[in-house]
Amino acid sequence: MSFHLILFLAFGAVCVAGAVNLLTQRHPINSALSLIAVMGALAGEYLLLGAEFVAAVQVIVYAGAIMVLFVFVIMLLNAGVEEQTRGSRTALVLGVPGMLTGGVLMAWVVLRQSGTRAVPIDALPGSPRDIAQLLFHDFLLPFEVTSVLILIAIMGAVVLASKPDSPPGRID
């Protein structure tokens, strides 16, 4: 068993444990913290795949910015333990076996096709220079479109989250 495989299994175990913990916890703050653990472990997987810049962005943007937003909203709304209702129990009874069947089918399809080599740890192909070359040259138009998208999202968030009776932008 190679060192690479051991690292993969370690990070993968953290991912699986975090994802299962997200489902079993009843309080949203526990789910959020386990999701942060999943994202940190996924950054390790990205490093194993040679995507160093993606790993850094995963930690900074996903585990940092987006999850802080989630935790902040949980704190702001004082979210408590969720209650069990009839609808959710039906989803539990029908959804979990359905997903298990789908997962087994997917695993069977994936495991029929295998055989790739791992990236050596010191030879990382996803350097920031190459990424930037692609992002700002080949994907320039999508890049600009996403910048417009995120600008619209920021304005929409400000409009939606402001008090209904006060016009957005005015400070009372």
Partner 1 sequence: MVPLSYYLLLSAFLFSCGVVGFLIKRNIITIFMSIELMLNGVNLSFVAFAAHWHALAGQVFVFFVMVVAAAEAAVGLAIIIAVYRTRETLNVDQVNLLKL
Which residues, 51 to 80, sit near partner 1 by CB under 8 A? 51, 53-54, 57-58, 61-62, 65-66, 69-70, 73-74, 76-77, 79
Dihedral sign of CA atoms 63, 68, 71, 74 in order: negative
Q: What's the closest the beta carbon of residue 167 comes to partner 1, in angstroms?
A: 15
Q: Are 38 and 18 in contact (CB under 8 A)?
A: yes
Nearest to 88 by CA among 20, 29, 23, 32: 23
Q: What's the closest the beta carbon of residue 171 comes to partner 1, in angstroms?
A: 18
Q: Are 52 and 126 in contact (CB under 8 A)?
A: yes
Q: What's the closest the beta carbon of residue 139 comes to partner 1, in angstroms?
A: 5
Task: Select from 10, 121, 138, 144 the one that contacts partner 1 (CB under 8 A).
Answer: 138
Q: Are 70 and 32 in contact (CB under 8 A)?
A: yes
Task: Select from 10, 56, 122, 134 the one that contacts partner 1 (CB under 8 A).
Answer: 134
Task: Select from 144, 161, 166, 168 the one that contacts partner 1 (CB under 8 A).
Answer: 161
Residue among 83 and 171 whose Cβ is closer to partner 1: 83
Q: What is the Cα–Cα distance from 172 to 170, expressed in whole angstroms?
A: 6
Check residue 128 for interaction with partner 1 (CB under 8 A): no
Q: What's the closest the beta carbon of residue 61 comes to partner 1, in angstroms?
A: 6
Nearest to 35 by CA among 61, 11, 63: 63
Q: How far apart are the first and last CA of the chain?
A: 64
Check residue 156 for interaction with partner 1 (CB under 8 A): yes
Check residue 111 for interaction with partner 1 (CB under 8 A): yes
DSSP E strands: which ranges in the chain? none
Task: Select from 141, 164, 167, 170 the one that contacts partner 1 (CB under 8 A).
Answer: 164
